[in-house]
């Protein structure tokens, strides 16, 4: 039997008979079914969220903060069960999923606090008898659509600020990881019923119904650029507020002064965390020519030492990829690169010793060029394509050689390189000497094809607040610029 949706504070069976099978990417076995919900289910969830909004918006911000801290506490309490479920559905190693639950809780704690303190403002008025206010208000029902690679964390980056700002939420998880999302019902069940609703189903059915729903004024989406473009098209006639966190093709520059003992494991981590299925995965590596031979040899050896295996085993470095079709895309891109002259230093195949699971060996590729798919399209897999550069001017040009602009990394102690890097590279997050570290207070998002808007930080709260300017004149006097001027003079 399929798991029910969580609507209005209770589990409600879908009106649709259709179901979606959830697969364990390590065993390739079906581990459960969820509802493939219908537009009627979306209507029901939006109605519940609208009813809840009429009260939640007036709950004092301090009290909303208490509710969010309690969400964080319950997440930490459920860490083991949630991490295990995430691993069973998505194949990410248990250790990394435990981290994800902790980061998710921290994001709720962060927005519990800044939601309490962040306010509108009083601005200078035109005349002394006036007061001008800038108010920040919730929009209403926010549709949150999230991917499978960090299903809880990316939920938190939307749901926590949306709730802190006084909105209510309809959450649609990815069909790869719906069971862990439904477990969140227990994490949210102290909130007034309908404040958060969780609906499983396909992007085409549930996602589209949310995106076009007239009573959902905001869509907060994380996923691929292609789906983000579709959402933008569908939402345009409704003039919805869109928040889009999309794909990336992040570059990593290793300058000539970088220490290979740090750069090798650092770059490998940035490229291979969660099998490279991270939006900010390093997908293009540019090494100064003086370090190139040493770096490629060392990183090949390092990558060969990583342990592939059961993601529930705490000794595993890399589990399976999340689905067979994601691996097939990586295989296609590597084959294309090899056909055009790239050379595989290690990997480039499924590991022969794993009988089941969507595994792909971490792969180091050299002699790559900008025209290969592996250097210009998102890969989302465990591949490290490495090219060389001659001077920093060229390194910056290479980093910017992409329509995406999510993040970029640099290893150097050279301050003039650092300055040029952060001034000239077009990306939302720039990491210098510490790849991929997120900070709840640091805004996160993309330039260009990597999206619109920012998550995290105060910017992340503002995405869920409508701005209203109030101009209040206490005097109620006639104005000299009114017409007819005779009337003004008569009133005076």
Q: Could you tell me the smallest distance in angstroms from the CB atom of residue 58 to ligand NAD?
A: 31
Q: Which stretch binds ligand NAD (CB under 6 A): 9-17, 220-228, 335-343, 432-440?
A: 220-228
Q: How many CB atoms lie within 10 A of CB 57?
A: 16
Please, are residues 250 and 283 in contact by the beta-carbon 8 Å criterion? yes
Binding of ligand NAD by 406 (CB under 6 A): yes
Three-state DSSP class for residue 196? strand
Binding of ligand NAD by 453 (CB under 6 A): no
Q: Which stretch binds ligand NAD (CB under 6 A): 34-42, 168-176, 185-193, 479-487?
A: 168-176
Task: Rule CB under 6 A: choose which of 115, 451, 457, 460 binds ligand NAD.
Answer: 451
Q: Which of residues 225-254 bind ligand NAD (CB under 6 A)?
A: 227, 230-231, 245-248
Binding of ligand NAD by 279 (CB under 6 A): yes
Residues binding ligand NAD: number (CB under 6 A) = 32
Residue 409, Cβ density class (10 Å: 0-12 exposed, 13-18 middle, ≥19 buried): buried
Q: What angle do CA 81, 269, 425 make, to 5 degrees?
A: 120
Pick the closer one to ligand NAD by CB: 224 or 346.
Answer: 224
Pick the closer one to ligand NAD by CB: 296 or 402.
Answer: 402
Report which DSSP code applies to 307: P
Q: What is the DSSP pairing of strand 10-12 with strand 5-7? A: antiparallel
Q: Which of residues 340-379 bind ligand NAD (CB under 6 A)?
A: 378
Q: Which of residues 134-163 bind ligand NAD (CB under 6 A)?
A: 145-150, 154
Report which DSSP code applies to 223: S
Q: Could you tell me the smallest distance in angstroms from the CB atom of residue 459 to ligand NAD?
A: 14
| Among 64, 75, 107, CA closest to 442 | 107
Residue 297, Cβ density class (10 Å: 0-12 exposed, 13-18 middle, ≥19 buried): middle
Three-state DSSP class for residue 419? helix
Please, are residues 84 and 41 in contact by the beta-carbon 8 Å criterion? no
Task: Rule CB under 6 A: choose which of 138, 178, 223, 357 binds ligand NAD.
Answer: 223
Q: Could you tell me the smallest distance in angstroms from the CB atom of residue 28 to ligand NAD?
A: 19
Pick the closer one to ligand NAD by CB: 247 or 319.
Answer: 247
Binding of ligand NAD by 446 (CB under 6 A): yes
CA 307 from chain centre, in angstroms, equals 27
Q: Could you tell me the smallest distance in angstroms from the CB atom of residue 102 to ligand NAD?
A: 18
Catalytic-role residue among 245, 283, 361, 463: 245
Q: Could you tell me the smallest distance in angstroms from the CB atom of residue 380 to ligand NAD?
A: 6
Q: Which of residues 472-491 bind ligand NAD (CB under 6 A)?
A: none
**In the structure encoding, which two tokens stand for residue 210, read together?**
């949310």
Q: Could you tell me the smallest distance in angstroms from the CB atom of residue 210 to ligand NAD?
A: 7
Q: Could you tell me the smallest distance in angstroms from the CB atom of residue 242 to ligand NAD?
A: 12
Task: Rule CB under 6 A: choose which of 15, 118, 125, 208 binds ligand NAD.
Answer: 208
Catalytic-role residue among 279, 283, 378, 463: 279
| Among 305, 426, 291, 296, CA closest to 368 | 296
Q: Which stretch binds ligand NAD (CB under 6 A): 99-107, 204-212, 262-270, 310-318?
A: 204-212
Q: Could you tell me the smallest distance in angstroms from the CB atom of residue 305 to ligand NAD?
A: 27
Pick the closer one to ligand NAD by CB: 56 or 360.
Answer: 360
Cα–Cα distance, 172 to 181 (Å, whole number): 9
Q: At what angle do helices 292-304 and 260-272 cross, to 10 degrees?
A: 50
Cis omega (within 30 of 0) for bond into 484 = yes
Q: Please, what's the b/e burial string for 254-270 (b: 16 or more CB within 10 A of its CB; e: otherwise)?
A: bbbebebeebbebbbeb
Pick the closer one to ligand NAD by CB: 247 or 347.
Answer: 247
First-residue to last-residue Cα distance in the chain: 78
Task: Rule CB under 6 A: choose which of 32, 140, 178, 203 binds ligand NAD.
Answer: 203
Binding of ligand NAD by 435 (CB under 6 A): no
Detail the DSSP E strand segments found in 113-161. 121-123, 130-138, 141-145
The answer to whether 245 is a known catalytic residue is yes
Cα–Cα distance, 482 to 475 (Å, whole number): 16
Pick the closer one to ligand NAD by CB: 80 or 458.
Answer: 458
Q: How many CB atoms lie within 10 A of CB 141?
A: 26
Does the CA dihedral 194-196-200-203 come out positive or negative? positive
- Give the number of residues written for the chain: 492
Q: Could you tell me the smallest distance in angstroms from the CB atom of residue 434 to ligand NAD?
A: 19
The answer to whether 463 is a known catalytic residue is no
Q: Which residues are known catalytic residues?
A: 245, 279
Q: Which residues would be at the binding site for ligand NAD (CB under 6 A)?
A: 145-150, 154, 172, 174-175, 203-204, 207-208, 211, 222-224, 227, 230-231, 245-248, 279, 378, 380, 406, 446, 450-451
């Amino acid at each position: 039997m399929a798991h029910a949706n969580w609507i209005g504070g209770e589990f409600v069976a879908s009106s649709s008979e259709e179901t979606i099978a959830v697969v364990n990417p390590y065993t390739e076995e079906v581990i459960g079914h969820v509802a493939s919900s219908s537009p009627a289910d979306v209507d029901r969830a939006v109605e519940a969220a609208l009813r809840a909004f009429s009260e939640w918006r007036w709950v004092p911000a301090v009290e909303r903060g208490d509710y969010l801290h309690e969400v964080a506490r319950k997440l930490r309490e459920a860490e083991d069960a949630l991490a295990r479920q995430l691993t069973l559905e998505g194949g990410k190693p248990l250790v990394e999923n435990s981290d994800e639950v902790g980061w998710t809780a921290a994001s709720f704690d962060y927005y519990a606090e800044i939601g309490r303190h962040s306010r509108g403002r009083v601005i200078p008025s035109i005349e002394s008898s006036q007061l001008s206010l800038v108010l920040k208000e919730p929009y209403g029902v926010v549709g949150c659509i999230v991917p499978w690679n960090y299903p809880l964390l990316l939920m938190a980056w939307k749901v926590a600020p949306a709730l802190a700002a006084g909105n209510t939420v309809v959450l649609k998880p990815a069909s790869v990881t719906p069971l862990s999302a439904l477990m969140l019902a227990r994490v949210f069940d102290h909130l007034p019923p309908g404040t958060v609703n969780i609906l499983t189903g396909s992007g085409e059915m549930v996602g589209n119904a949310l995106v076009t729903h007239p009573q959902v004024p905001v869509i907060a989406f994380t996923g691929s650029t292609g789906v983000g473009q579709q959402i933008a098209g569908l939402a345009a006639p409704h003039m919805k507020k869109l928040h889009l966190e999309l794909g990336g093709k992040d570059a990593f520059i290793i300058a000539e002064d970088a220490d290979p003992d740090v750069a090798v494991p650092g770059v490998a981590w940035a490229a291979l965390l969660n099998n490279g299925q991270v939006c900010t995965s390093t997908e293009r590596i540019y090494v100064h020519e003086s370090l190139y031979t040493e770096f490629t040899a060392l990183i090949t050896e390092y990558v060969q030492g990583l342990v592939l295996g059961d993601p529930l085993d705490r000794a595993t470095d890399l589990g399976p990829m999340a689905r067979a079709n994601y691996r097939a895309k990586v295989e296609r891109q590597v084959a294309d690169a090899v056909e055009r002259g790239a050379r595989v230093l290690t990997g480039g195949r499924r590991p022969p010793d794993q009988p089941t699971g969507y595994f792909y060996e971490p792969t180091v590729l050299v002699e790559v060029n900008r025209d290969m798919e592996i250097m210009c399209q998102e890969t989302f897999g465990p591949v490290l394509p490495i090219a060389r550069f001659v001077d920093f001017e060229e390194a910056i040009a290479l980093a910017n050689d992409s329509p995406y602009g999510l993040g970029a990394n640099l290893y150097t102690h050279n301050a003039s390189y650092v300055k040029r890097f952060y001034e000239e590279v077009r990306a939302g997050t720039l990491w210098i000497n510490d790849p991929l570290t997120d900070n709840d207070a640091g805004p996160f998002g993309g330039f260009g094809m990597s999206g619109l808007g920012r998550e995290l930080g105060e910017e992340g709260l503002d995405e869920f607040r409508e701005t209203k300017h109030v101009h209040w004149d206490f005097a109620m006097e006639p104005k000299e610029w009114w017409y007819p001027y005779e009337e003004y003079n008569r009133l005076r």
